Amino acid sequence: MTDVKTPPIRDLLEVVQDDENNLTFMKNVSIPLKASPLPIRANVPSDHRSKYSAWETPDPVFWTREGYAVVRADERGLGQSPGLLDTMSRGTSECFFDVVEWAAEQSWSSGKVGLLGILYYAGLQWRVAARKLKGLAAIIPWEGMSDYYRDRCRHGGILSNNFISFWWNRQVLVNQYGKAGRSKLQFPPHGPGARGQEDTIEGDLPEEVLVQNRKDQTQDNTNNKFRDDDYYASKEYNLEDIDVPLLSVANWGGILLHLRGNVEGYTRASSKFKYIRFITGRHDLPFYSPQEVEIQKSFLNAFLKGQDDYGWTEPGKVAPVTLTMRKGNRDEEAWPIPRTQYTKCPGNLKDPKLVQFISASFEEETEVIGHVTAHLNVSVTPDNSGETDIDLFVTLRHIDPAGKEVLYTGTAGDGIPLCKGWLRVSNRKVYEDHPKHCSYRPHREYLSADVQPVKAGEVYTIDVEVWPTNVVVEKGGKLVFEVSSGDTQGSGVFQHNSDIDRPASNRSLRHFEFRGRD
């Protein structure tokens, strides 16, 4: 157990009556925890869209005008909340649990609490909702991973190190409790997490104490490889334990983070009232658009206020699945879509150096939507010596009738292909008898005991999980299936290039034996 060192907490509660926006602004609210003497501080960061707004969170001015009280709590070890900084941990979920129950018990509260936020603030919702806490009435995880290992940290067992480092250094470390000079940080170059910060009320802490007071996500993910390692095992929970009404919002552009989590969260949650809404665009902008805000408001009104003008609380009134089709929108009754016909997509080798296959031109407009599995036969070059492994990176691309690739909007605003998938071949063991295994998505546990050797000269039959996708291929269009031993176009900041996790032996292109598969 890390011995966390913090100065004595100062009681500096500020209450401001904001007549312009007709709200009461409470800052530095101390929330006593049930299992610890440490408090959580509900600090409101500074300006974003109004003077109370914060990035990726609901705007307080708007929501208070709609009759809601808005609570934002600095996570333990961040902002003005002292304690051990351990992101996405069980301890973080326990603190979140206490904040929700605290809010439900306040005199200004109706006793019903809803959760709303993007990305990290969405991923935390799945975790705390699984704890069945008192007062939680609805959640809207907006682009939020639900599986820390598979969705975020280790795609197919391969470390997604670049984004973890980017996020940790630009948006977490700069806001650690006790970090010196926070109020002087500017945006850029320090990143969106640094804008408008305040110095720690109780004073700065020396660097050696800051190091002691945190668990470094970049180091922990590098040093741990499997789901049964203590680090990853401590972050496990069951999505099936979630029973509150939920609206999962998945972005087709989140092909390297969050998309899979929103789909899995919706599919596996036990909630009587659960919905999934597929959108497109950058990760932050749609959240604040008038159309999407109205959806958020109607959902929360239904389950927190009992004002259901949309039909969320009436079984069958609202379609469980709302699709943005990248060519028109429609509703569906289930996910995956029951009438989906899973079929092979044959092609010819386009460039042996790129290992890229291209389909024949489509004879008619064809909709492709749902889960994709890549069936491969691979081997290691026989003359390679020593311990070997194969890291597989697969990509599906859309080519228009003129022969030009169609790029879609990624969550960071960059151009991306349709979807991607990954697998470290030594992690190829599939649990076919597991209830989560299905024909369109192989289930792997990624346990240390599951590692299987990769021997030179032997051909291995591999099924690679590719994340869900959607495209309408017009007549004359084509699909390209790409296999590589590293990141290709569309990876952006989500690259897998750790010298520790991916030694040179994993990065060379291996042999692919293309044979007929049933």
Mapping DSSP onto H, E and C, the string for 88-125 reads: CCHHHHHHHHHHHHHHHHCCCCCCCEEEEEECHHHHHH
Q: Poorest-confidence range of 144-148, 153-157, 446-450, 484-488?
A: 484-488
Cα(422)–Cα(392) distance, integer angstroms: 5
Residue 290: DSSP 8-state: H
- pLDDT tier, 323 (very low <50, low <70, confident <90, very high otherwise): confident
Cα(387)–Cα(383) distance, integer angstroms: 12
Q: For the domain 14-292, what is the CATH code?
A: 3.40.50.1820
> Does residue 183 have a pLDDT over 60?
yes
- pLDDT tier, 357 (very low <50, low <70, confident <90, very high otherwise): confident
Structure tokens at 470: 């959607």
The stretch 103-108 carries a mean pLDDT of: 95
The stretch 258-277 carries a mean pLDDT of: 98
Selection from 110-119, 280-289, 315-324, 502-511 with the highest mean pLDDT: 110-119
Classify strands 136-142 and 113-118 as parallel, antiparallel or unpaired: parallel
The stretch 3-25 carries a mean pLDDT of: 65
State phi, psi for 279 to the nearest 5 degrees. Answer: -130, 175
- Provide the mean pLDDT of the chain: 85
Higher pLDDT, 292 or 333: 292
List, in sequence order, every residue forming a beta bridge with 358; answer none if it has no partner: 348, 480
Q: Which of 226, 169, 222 is nearest to 445 (CA)?
A: 226
Higher pLDDT, 253 or 507: 253
Q: Poorest-confidence range of 131-140, 191-200, 249-258?
A: 191-200
> Does residue 336 have a pLDDT over 90?
no
- Percent of the chain at pLDDT above 90? 66
- pLDDT tier, 170 (very low <50, low <70, confident <90, very high otherwise): confident
pLDDT at residue 191, rounded to an integer = 45
- pLDDT tier, 380 (very low <50, low <70, confident <90, very high otherwise): confident
Query: How many DSSP H helices and E strands does the chain contain?
Result: 10, 23
Cα(179)–Cα(451) distance, integer angstroms: 41
Q: Poorest-confidence range of 134-138, 214-218, 307-311, 335-339?
A: 335-339
Q: For the domain 347-512, what is the CATH code?
A: 2.60.120.260
Q: Tell me the pLDDT tens digit for each residue of 222-242.
A: 999 999 999 999 999 999 999
Cα(441)–Cα(186) distance, integer angstroms: 44
> Does residue 399 have a pLDDT over 90?
yes
508 CB-near residues (< 8 Å, 6+ apart) = 381, 485
Domain residue ranges of the chain, discontinuous segments joined by +: 14-292, 347-512
Cα(144)–Cα(151) distance, integer angstroms: 9
Specify whether the CB–CB gap between 450 and 444 falls below 8 A.
yes
Cα(123)–Cα(117) distance, integer angstroms: 9
- Percent of the chain at pLDDT above 70? 79
Specify whether the CB–CB gap between 344 and 440 falls below 8 A.
no
- pLDDT tier, 387 (very low <50, low <70, confident <90, very high otherwise): low
Q: Poorest-confidence range of 46-55, 155-164, 313-322, 426-435?
A: 46-55
Mapping DSSP onto H, E and C, the string for 163-197 reads: HHHHHHHHHHHHHECCCCCHHHCCCCCCCHHHCCC
Alpha helices in 301-333 (DSSP H): none
- pLDDT tier, 162 (very low <50, low <70, confident <90, very high otherwise): very high
pLDDT at residue 50, rounded to an integer = 75
Higher pLDDT, 137 or 338: 137
Cα(243)–Cα(273) distance, integer angstroms: 8
- pLDDT tier, 13 (very low <50, low <70, confident <90, very high otherwise): low
pLDDT at residue 263, rounded to an integer = 98
Cα(496)–Cα(158) distance, integer angstroms: 7
Classify strands 391-399 and 478-484 as parallel, antiparallel or unpaired: antiparallel
Distances (CA, A) of 512 to 373, 385, 483: 16, 19, 9
Cα(268)–Cα(503) distance, integer angstroms: 36
Q: From start to end of 143-293, where are the E strands?
A: 154-155, 158-159, 246-251, 274-279
pLDDT at residue 40, rounded to an integer = 44
Specify whether the CB–CB gap between 510 and 435 falls below 8 A.
no
pLDDT at residue 122, rounded to an integer = 97
Q: How far separated are the first and last CA of the chain, in Å rounded? A: 52
> Does residue 451 have a pLDDT over 90?
yes
Q: Tell me the pLDDT tens digit for each residue of 81-94.
A: 999 999 999 999 99
Would you say the C-alpha torsion 73, 284, 326, 313 has a positive or negative sign?
positive
Cα(261)–Cα(337) distance, integer angstroms: 18
Q: Tell me the pLDDT tens digit for each residue of 474-507.
A: 999 999 999 998 999 999 999 999 999 998 766 6
- pLDDT tier, 211 (very low <50, low <70, confident <90, very high otherwise): very high
Structure tokens at 415: 């151009």
SS3 content of the chain, % helix, strand, coil (to 5): 25, 25, 55
